[in-house]
Homo-oligomer: A and B are copies of this chain.
């Protein structure tokens, strides 16, 4: 049972694009695909091939021979469109669609997102059934987006996955670890007379410390590596 909006491809031409759409749906947690009058009939081998892991979304897709039949059980429709239309209908930027959906008190699986054919998009008749038009903000000189891309972008925007990926928990370096590194380094640089001008010593040490303090998430193992490196270089007998 889907807890995400339904993706509806109207008169899609290339099976590859149907498959790509299904693949993106899988990537972003969608599963209900409806197709109105696929040009090359159904089933479609190219769609199954390009769907890769999401081949079941293709196999389970519901096929309709009329637009109205495909949307009749839905409560809220967004039509995707790159062109401005001569409709007095609210336009929603794709970057705002998630917030927009939250404003409407509709069950997610009662929402449909409509995508038109590759060549022509949705016709005005279909758009007239939509509650709102969603558009992807583009360079005004390059508005035409492939259907596989626009469906991916919408699924991406609407995906509910909030689980952030994090690094494995690691032992980060303590101030003491880093202090240990700095005191080794300072002693070595004093011994090699690194600073040349004694008055500059402190300022230079600040600068050097400042470099190493900016290493994001430095671990204690990594501090050991750094200490290993400077000891190794310092003790090398040529």
Contact = CB atoms under 8 A, between A and B. Distances in A.
B149 A20 contact: yes
B225 A215 contact: no
Contacts of A230: 229, 233
Nearest to A159: B137
Interface in A129-158: 135-146, 148-149, 152-153, 156
Contacts of A139: 26-29, 159, 161
Given A152-B149, A170-B88, A194-B228, A161 B138 contact: yes
A218 interface: yes
A211 B218 contact: yes
B20 A146 contact: yes
A162 B189 CA distance: 43
Contacts of A191: 236
A188 interface: yes
Interface of A: 20, 23-24, 26-29, 52-54, 84, 88-91, 93, 135-146, 148-149, 152-153, 156, 159-168, 170, 185, 188-189, 191-192, 194, 204, 207-208, 211-212, 214-219, 222, 225-226, 228-230, 232-234, 236-238
A86 to B, nearest CB: 8
Nearest to A236: B192
Sort A-B residue pairs by CB-CB distance and give the 8 closest, nearest first. Answer: A233-B233, A26-B142, A214-B216, A192-B236, A27-B138, A149-B152, A233-B234, A29-B139
Contacts of A136: 27, 156
Given A88-B170, A88-B219, 9 more contacts: A23-B145, A23-B149, A88-B167, A90-B217, A137-B162, A152-B153, A153-B156, A188-B236, A204-B225
A215 B89 CA distance: 10
A200 to B, nearest CB: 12
Contacts of A167: 88-89, 91
